Amino acid sequence: MATEAHFSGVIAPVLTPFDEEGGPDAARFTDHASWLLAEGCTALAPFGTTSEANSLGIEERMELLEELVDSGIDPGKLMPGTGTCSLADTIALTEHAIEVGCGGVLMLPPFYYKGPSEDGLFRYFAEVIECIGDDRLKVYLYHIPPVAQVGFSLPLIGRLLKEFPNTVAGLKDSSGDWSNTAAILAEYPQLEVFPGSEIFLLDGLKHGAKGCISATCNVSANAIRKVYDSWQTPDAERLQAGITALRKAIQAYPMIPALKAVIAHYRGDPGWAAVRPPFMPLPAAEAEKAVRTLAEAHGFTLDFADAA
């Protein structure tokens, strides 16, 4: 029995705002999440790499997830990141995500110890899945070798799919390597595959991808959604060229500080620019330049008029 498709479309790894004491700011966070859904996101992936999730504590992550659900967001639309380097913490976060009703979880491989064997990674995921032992668990494998260093080979994906066909539902490919995404799509058509950048959205959809999960969805969900909605129309290539150009303009800056600086500017809320170390905020001149470049070269703007 194949796993039912659960997620598709434009999914944002929700940025995590901080308050003046450096703690997660739940009010700004839930406001932003609601605004993202209003902007066109079909689902949300809080606690991804872009969310500075790996700079958050286990308790902080659980509390923020509960805030999202308490704010009225349908937990079925949430695919929180729950993978840590520790088996125990990964199980705890994943059980909590199931408990609050999340539609799926996005799971990093254990990333501290480098060069793990395929057997070791297989055993890790097997222990997580078997220990949780819950049919509601839908795992999206999070492949991001440029950051995690540890990733999912094609054979490992195949072994996990074969052993846990009702649990391993999909994969986010943030390798930045289209040939890897294409190989996964060709080999495992039953998997819900999401490229980690909208640059590959149109190509992905043509090859069977379900959408994308991308950092820049935090500011340009609207434009990305247009590509998703019209990918079979004559306009698709032109729209894709627009979001590709915007993405490249944004990723010329350090991604997380730049996204936060852009939101801080358009919200008129300087506090939004705060990042947790080891990140540093974009210097003021860089932030201004980023905003100006995006506006002038790409007609980019953000409208928070509808936001609370």
| Active-site residue set | 49, 112, 142, 172
Instruction: Tell me how far, at minimum, the Cβ of 138 lies from a second copy, in Å.
Output: 21
124/120 Cα distance (integer angstroms): 6
107/49 Cα distance (integer angstroms): 11
Number of neighbouring beta carbons within 10 Å of residue 18: 21
Which residues, numbered 123-142, are part of the site for a second copy (CB under 8 A)? 123-124, 127, 131
- HSE, side-chain direction, 13 A CA sphere, residue 32: 30
- Exactly one of 76, 101, 120, 155 binds a second copy (CB under 8 A); that residue is 120
The β-bridge partners of 171 are 141, 193
Q: Select the span of 28-36, 80-88, 258-266, 299-307 touching a second copy (CB under 8 A).
A: 80-88
Q: Select the span of 27-35, 82-90, 155-163, 218-226 touching a second copy (CB under 8 A).
A: 82-90
Q: Select the span of 115-123, 234-242, 263-271, 290-298 touching a second copy (CB under 8 A).
A: 115-123
Instruction: Tell me how far, at minimum, the Cβ of 230 lies from a second copy, in Å.
Output: 35
Residue 126, class by beta-carbon neighbours within 10 Å (0-12 exposed, 13-18 middle, 19+ buried)? middle
Instruction: Tell me how far, at minimum, the Cβ of 200 lies from a second copy, in Å.
Output: 22
Instruction: Tell me how far, at minimum, the Cβ of 260 lies from a second copy, in Å.
Output: 14
Q: Closest CB to a second copy among 147 and 307?
A: 147
Instruction: Tell me how far, at minimum, the Cβ of 36 lies from a second copy, in Å.
Output: 22
| Lateral strand order in the sheet of 192-195 | 105-107, 139-143, 168-173, 192-195
Check binding of 147 to a second copy (CB under 8 A): yes
For residue 98, which of 63, 138, 129 has the smallest C-alpha distance? Answer: 138
Check binding of 283 to a second copy (CB under 8 A): no
Tokens of residue 271, six digits: 């506090």
Task: Give the pairing type, strands 105-107 and 139-143.
Answer: parallel
Which residues, numbered 149-168, are part of the site for a second copy (CB under 8 A)? 149-150
**How many chain residues are in contact with a second copy, going by CB under 8 A?**
40
Phi, psi at residue 255, to the nearest 5°? -55, -55
Widest Cα–Cα separation across the chain? 55
Q: Where on the chain is the footprint of a second copy (CB under 8 A)?
A: 22, 49, 54-60, 85-89, 92, 109-114, 116-117, 119-121, 123-124, 127, 131, 146-150, 276-280
